[in-house]
Every structure is written in C-alpha cells, then in structure tokens.
Chain A
C-alpha cells in the first residue's frame, strides 16, 4: 500500500466518501490487514470501499512498509479465516473479508458460527478451496534431482490455482529440511538452501531437468499398484483432476492402464486355476513351526542380540544360575555396575542381597537370579548415570522374556524383589507392604509358587536408624523363603 491510500479524517456527519484500496498482486495479507485497520478506525463501511490490485506487478518487490495501525480485536474464528482466504484468486476476496470484519465488529460477533449465512458460507468455501489447493500442491508436486554440482539438489515445477506459494512453502521446509530445493511456479519461486527460505521471480517448466533416475521406478510402482479388477476412473479424477496430470510423470500410464484393465481382469477370471506349484516344502514348513527357543541358552542368545527396548544400556544383563534351581529371585533391572559388567546383582544392592542370603542360609550359587527388565535405564547427571525406574509399559516389553526364562529354569519358588518384579509377574501394581510374604502369581500358578519381599536397594535408601530393623525383616523373609523352598523341593 502506498501513500496515496491514506484515508481522509473521519467525516463529520456528511456522506461517507468512496475509498479505493490498491493491494499488491497475489496474496497481500499485510496490505489487506493494514488497510482494514485504517478503514475500521475511520468507520468506513464495506459499501464505501473499492478494492483493486496495483498494476505494477512487483510480486516480490519491497515497497515501503506502511505505518502499522492499531491492531483490530477480532473474534478468533474471523482472524483465523483471513489468511486462509487472502490467497484466493477471486478479485472479490478482500471486499468479502472486509464485510465479514465489519459485520463481526458491528453487532454480529458470532457471525462465524452461523455457517448458513451466505457470506460466511461463501468465505468458508473459498478457504476450503485454498486448503484444497495447498493440499494438492503438497501432494502432487514432484521433485527432480539436479545432477552434478555438490550435494543433493532438487527442483520442481508446479501450477497452483491460487496465490499459495508462500503459504505452501513451509511444509516443504519442514519435510525436506536437509535437502536443497527450488519450487518454481508461474508467479514466483521458493528456494531453500538448507538453512534459509527465499522467494524470487517466476520460473518455467523448462527450468526443471528433463528426467530423474527414479522416475521410471516410480511409474513402474504406479502401474503395478493399480488393481485392474477395480477400475474407477471417476473416483480417481475427483481426487486428482486432470489439470494436474501434465506435471505428474506417473499419469502418462493412465490411458494404457484403463485400456488394458478389462482384458486383464477377464483373463484372471476366465483362466482355469492352474495346478498348484509342486513346491511342497514340507521340511521348511515344519521348521517354521519350530522357531521357539528350545533352551535357556537359545533364549539368552535372542535377548543378547536384541537392542535395548529402553534406550541407553551398554548390554543386556541375563539371568544367572542353573536350570532347575529351587529358588529364583527376580529383581527390577540391572544397575550401573551390572550394565557395565553384564552380570546381575553385583552392585551395592546385589552385595547386600548376597550377605542377607548367606545369613538366611541360602546358597546364592545354587539359586537363579534375574531381572524383570534386562537393560539398564538411567538419566545422565553430569557424568553419573542415575538409575531410573522402568515404566509399566517398559516392564511389559520385557515380560515375555521373563516368562519364557522362568519356564526353562522351572524353579519351585519365585521371589519377587520389589514392586517392578511384582508388576512383571502379575501384570498388576500391588503395594509391597500389603502383599509381602507368600503370594499367588495367578498367571503362573500352575508352575511355581510365589513370594513377595522388598528389593535390597530399598534397604540402601533407608535412613540409618531404620536400616537395621528393615534388614532384619528382609533376612527373616529370606529365611521363610529358604524353608518354603526346602519344603517344595522335598
């Protein structure tokens, strides 16, 4: 908008003078917004404004920035609609939008909610057309790789229906941020060099390289994925109107696909079913049904080669002890030292467990020790890796392995050390204080008996004065476990 558009002071009482507002060609959101602010400020009704387009087509020329006026306070729905209509090529768009603004500010605040109002209806349809144009540009634009030069560079030519280049470009920036690309249109170009987006003069189709190494492959895919038994060109054209076809390489195949479809389908239907191939790979089929790990070692090999299902760990920490052990202890997850050495219960909590087991008369070497979760989860604080409790979902990720592991070990009694182990064995969150002692793990009831006690790391975290008593209680639990185990093994 130039100086010539400056409005006269509000007229006092006399008839309102006609105003002509000239905006830049294309989508001049800034110009429109400034004009609307002025017009409203001066009380100019829609009927007194004529909207036009500057004749000098300086789409990307600078132009003096107009002094900004006081922003209008518009209902949110109105403010949201405006940028979605401004790119429309209908010359009446600015007038319609200004009418909407005017009415919204003059007694019809909720106008946008009345979708049945003819003005709102028309503007909705215009914004829908813009939305569709944008969507089709995001969908149907095809890049071609420019060979030679450094790095990967891509160019596309597209002809939108409306003035949407600037509205469409951010999508491509987000999606292809790491690529250098240029989008050419008849009204202007958008250029992304990997860091900055700039707009420039129009281009032409001939500015795009003739071919691309993957275009034939794409066409092959297009032809192949078509199902000739479901021909429906009407549905295709409704979503991909013909006007887009000349810029989409794959559409060259359409006529041939349509011509051949009926014959191909008839052939498929009429053709006698062929005799099944003699391929009866009986051994392979039998082997396929036999994929489950057969031993603990096979299962452990799978666990070891699977990447952590919680991020960060050095390695999987497998269970330790012998198959057939009477007692199996299930902890939470490996800690810092366990993660580095690859063995369970060797850190401070593990040492405490060893001591308590010895005091209770349990031979650690003869027991089986494992964790609900096989990988260490932590947050990094400085150089220290601080243990982080696994979530219920993460415990579920690992539950299958624990179940299978216990099947192989086949202990008589499984001891859940702490809440995470309980969660893994029962699928439920159960407070330790309430469930401590012998416990039925329903899902495993037919296979082994259960016992719940605290995790030794809990003892380490207690204040000194409480430690002794809690430790004694833990040893008592272990004694009961030893007795129960002996009873079950007998």
Chain B
C-alpha cells in the first residue's frame, strides 16, 4: 500500500474511532454473484479485537475529517487542530475491497466530516457505496453514517445501497445540541430518522431493498448533564417511534486537542456499560423505561450493580420466583438469568422438575440468581429480606477504570 494512502488511513481511521458502533449484523444472508465478491452472515463477524476490547468488524473510516461544523465534543470540529485528510471515492473502494479479500473485515462503515455542504458530502458517500455494489459486485456489509442535514432525496438513494443507515442523535436534548453542536438541528435529525424508519418498513413489506439491516443511532454520554433515566427514556421513545434497531451509548472520550468548553476528564466507562445493560432490559427483557428509572437513584443507575439487580432489590416482594412454575416474563426479571437461560428453563421444565443443579447447567451466574429463586430442592429462606444482600451481590470492581 502506498505511503500516501497509509497516511490518510491513519488520520481518517483515527477520526472515525469515536463512533461506538461497528456491528455488521442484521443484513439478510446473501452472497455475491459470479463476478462479485462478498457475503453477509446475518449475525456479523468480529475479525479482530483491539486492546480496548472492542471488535473490528468493519473498516470504519471517514471520507474526510475536514468539517465545516463545530461540535464541541468532536475531534473533527472545524476549530480543532488535528491533521486533516481526504480520501477519494476510488481510494475508499479500493481499500475496502483489498481488506475484504484478505478476510480482515466484513465491509465498510463510512462516515464523514461535512465538506462544501451536507448534500455534497452525502453524495460522495453514496457514490462509494454505489461503486462497491455496482462496479465491483460487492455483497459485503455497508453501513453509511447519514448526514441529517442532507436533502431527503439523498437518503432515499443511500438506502438502496447500504445495509444500515444511521443518524447520530449525539446529544439527547435540544438545549445541549444548540450549546455544543450549533450547526446541528434536532428537528432535522428526528425528521431524517423518521424518514429512514418509514422507508425501511415499506421496503420490507414490498420485498425491496432499503437499508435491510435497519437503522441505528449514537448518543454521547457524559458530555452534558442528561441523566441515565432521561437517556433510557429517550431510547425507548426512539425504539418505538422510528423503529430503531440499536441505540449506541458512547462515553465521551478525551480526544486529542479537546475543546475548551468541555471538561477533559476520564470517560465514564462504567456508566456506559450500565446504560447498555439498561438498554438490553428494554429490548429483550420486557422492562419499560419507567421501571428502569425506578431502580435508579436520582435518575442515575448504580455503578456497582447492574440495573436488573437494582430493580430486583427494590422489588423484593416479587421474589423469590419458582423456576418450575413462574411465567417467562417473571423469570426474565430474575437477576443472573439471561433470556436464553429462561428459554431453556421453560423448555426443560416440561419434561423434568428442575433442581438447583439443573439450573446451574443452564446459566453461568447461579450465584446471583440463587437468592431470588425457588427450585425443587431450594428455597431461599428470608434471603430477599436481608439488608446485606446488596453488598453480597456487588461485583468486584470491574476493569473499566482508566488506570
């Protein structure tokens, strides 16, 4: 690879890494035609992990980090002093194909700073996707970070080539947006998300292709004073109203050449982790945002225990739950029982009466579940009333702190 291209790659991958999403999931299973290349697997594949524990699934780069916007939290804002670069459409196509052929990646996640205009930028990004699909028969995964300020017809076009479109909410409130991202417009963001959501549903019903892997968003955690409860309730709203597939929570990270209006402090990684857990409760465990909020203190999730355990401790009268009798919905609320474990329990108990040993084979965290469960040979006498229960279940300090 030429040195010039490598230099651009260094700058434009560095600029893209603050986007948390790297998922290559959700695309329908497909494979390229005879002259093409690539396939999708449905669940996606992580091709490598970096020492921050995050997976590399897609080539995540910016088309350019030149940007006319001035968002305080962003490393690429126009007033930042970082080195700048710009890929040509052909360079991105070439890089994607060559990485793909060596089995380094599942596809491309392309984002960009705003150059000239949102429309111009969006057109360039769509040209990359179009060229991959049409000139090279590329059937791998393509995620385009759409630009909400771009004209709506450009999003209509982008969805024909991308597997996933995403539009970042970035900041959960209008006030924070106007303070920290003055060029951004909450209404435009909402409008574009609604447009994409509606089009995905239509295309699915009509068996046409439009962002078949759905759309997602990212919200920055810790750059303003929004509470966890407010974030989760915003997510609930987005899942419901525009049919989002995922909300990504990105702990505000110190960046090279940070802005003066943001405090430069350690990113709240533990907080980000708890938000993801709370988000899972919404999507897979039939919790409402209100219930998650009820388990918080002043709107903030506890950092030392997970939100499901926090909810259980505040609702001890609902426990213990009998693994052999309780309905699925209640089993899902037992700390330490995942959705898969619950499914296995429901199946297995049709044929056998479950004892504690049996449950141990179905979940890897029996220790946490035990005080909340009744099994054929187990009844936690008064355990749920113990004041020190919380202390007993607190996880040892997680490896999430900085140093």
- Taking beta carbons and an 8 Å cutoff, which residues of A are in contact with B? 110, 113-118, 121, 135, 138-145, 152, 154, 156, 171, 174-179, 212-218, 220-222, 224-236, 238-240, 248, 250-251, 254, 257-258, 261-262, 265, 268-269, 271, 273-274, 276-277, 279-281, 284-285, 287-288, 291-292, 302, 306-307, 309, 391-394, 396-398, 400-401
| Contact (Cβ within 8 A) A396 B198 | yes
**Known contacts A139-B45, A268-B255; A178 and B402 CB within 8 A of each other:** no
| Contact (Cβ within 8 A) A156 B103 | yes
| Contact (Cβ within 8 A) A229 B101 | no
A281 to B69, CA, bound (A): 10
Q: In chain B between 335 and 379, which residues have their CB closer than 8 angstroms to a CB of chain A?
A: 344, 347-348, 350-352, 354, 357-359, 361-362
**Known contacts A179-B37, A391-B208; A115 and B151 CB within 8 A of each other:** no
| Contact (Cβ within 8 A) A220 B9 | yes
* Most chain B C-beta atoms within 10 Å of own C-beta, residue among A258, A269, A398: A269
B77-97 vs A, CB cutoff 8 Å, 1 = contact: the mask equals 011110000000000000100
| Contact (Cβ within 8 A) A235 B49 | yes
A394 to B207, CA, bound (A): 12
- Report B-chain residues with C-beta under 8 Å of the C-beta of A233: 51, 53
* Contact with A213, one of B1, B80, B251 (Cβ below 8 angstroms): B1
- Report A-chain residues with C-beta under 8 Å of the C-beta of B39: 171, 174-175
Cβ of B20 to closest chain A Cβ, rounded Å: 10
Interface residue B256 (Cβ < 8 Å from any Cβ of A): yes
Total interface residues on B, CB under 8 Å, equals 98
- Report B-chain residues with C-beta under 8 Å of the C-beta of A400: 151-153, 156
Residue of A nearest to B160 (CB): A309
**Known contacts A143-B101, A277-B81, A400-B152; A224 and B13 CB within 8 A of each other:** yes
- Report A-chain residues with C-beta under 8 Å of the C-beta of B400: 232
* Contact with A250, one of B48, B55, B119, B357 (Cβ below 8 angstroms): B48
Interface residue B35 (Cβ < 8 Å from any Cβ of A): yes
Cβ of A271 to closest chain B Cβ, rounded Å: 8
- Report A-chain residues with C-beta under 8 Å of the C-beta of B16: 225
| Contact (Cβ within 8 A) A229 B202 | no
Cβ of A283 to closest chain B Cβ, rounded Å: 10
**Known contacts A174-B31, A292-B151; A230 and B267 CB within 8 A of each other:** yes
A233 to B50, CA, bound (A): 8
Name 14 interchain pairs, CB-CB below 8 A, sorted by A: A156-B103, A175-B38, A178-B34, A213-B1, A221-B99, A225-B16, A230-B54, A230-B269, A235-B49, A268-B258, A276-B81, A307-B157, A396-B156, A398-B156
* Contact with A139, one of B47, B251, B403 (Cβ below 8 angstroms): B47
* Contact with B118, one of A248, A291, A393 (Cβ below 8 angstroms): A291
Q: Which 7 A-B pairs have the closest CB atoms?
A: A235-B53, A116-B358, A393-B202, A276-B79, A232-B53, A217-B1, A226-B50
B268-294 vs A, CB cutoff 8 Å, 1 = contact: the mask equals 010000000000000000000000000
| Contact (Cβ within 8 A) B101 A113 | no
A117 to B169, CA, bound (A): 47
A392 to B153, CA, bound (A): 15
B205-225 vs A, CB cutoff 8 Å, 1 = contact: the mask equals 110101000000000000000
- Report B-chain residues with C-beta under 8 Å of the C-beta of A262: 403
| Contact (Cβ within 8 A) A257 B59 | no
A337 to B56, CA, bound (A): 50
- Report B-chain residues with C-beta under 8 Å of the C-beta of A214: 1, 98-99, 102
- Report A-chain residues with C-beta under 8 Å of the C-beta of B152: 400
Interface of B is mostly: loop
- Report A-chain residues with C-beta under 8 Å of the C-beta of B50: 222, 225-227, 236, 257
| Contact (Cβ within 8 A) B402 A265 | yes
Cβ of B371 to closest chain A Cβ, rounded Å: 20
A179 to B103, CA, bound (A): 12
Cβ of B155 to closest chain A Cβ, rounded Å: 9
Cβ of B103 to closest chain A Cβ, rounded Å: 5
* Contact with A221, one of B59, B253, B362 (Cβ below 8 angstroms): B59
Residue of B nearest to A115 (CB): B344
- Report A-chain residues with C-beta under 8 Å of the C-beta of B145: none
A215 to B351, CA, bound (A): 54
Residue of A nearest to B258 (CB): A273
| Contact (Cβ within 8 A) B1 A143 | no
Cβ of B194 to closest chain A Cβ, rounded Å: 12
Known A217-B99, A400-B152; further 11 A-B contacts with Cβ < 8 A: A139-B45, A139-B47, A140-B48, A175-B39, A178-B37, A221-B13, A221-B104, A276-B79, A391-B202, A393-B203, A400-B151
| Contact (Cβ within 8 A) B265 A269 | yes
A230 to B102, CA, bound (A): 28
- Report B-chain residues with C-beta under 8 Å of the C-beta of A226: 17, 50-52
| Contact (Cβ within 8 A) A396 B13 | no
* Contact with A281, one of B78, B95, B361, B402 (Cβ below 8 angstroms): B78
A77 to B359, CA, bound (A): 21
Interface residue B5 (Cβ < 8 Å from any Cβ of A): yes
Cβ of A463 to closest chain B Cβ, rounded Å: 31
- Report A-chain residues with C-beta under 8 Å of the C-beta of B260: 273, 276
Cβ of A389 to closest chain B Cβ, rounded Å: 11
| Contact (Cβ within 8 A) A216 B1 | yes
A221 to B50, CA, bound (A): 10
Interface residue B392 (Cβ < 8 Å from any Cβ of A): no
A175 to B50, CA, bound (A): 24
Interface residue B318 (Cβ < 8 Å from any Cβ of A): no
* Contact with B80, one of A118, A171, A254, A277 (Cβ below 8 angstroms): A277
Residue of B nearest to A112 (CB): B347
| Contact (Cβ within 8 A) A227 B52 | yes
Residue of A nearest to B82 (CB): A277
B15-34 vs A, CB cutoff 8 Å, 1 = contact: the mask equals 01110000000000001101
Interface residue B254 (Cβ < 8 Å from any Cβ of A): yes
A38 to B45, CA, bound (A): 40
A140 to B257, CA, bound (A): 35
Cβ of B172 to closest chain A Cβ, rounded Å: 22
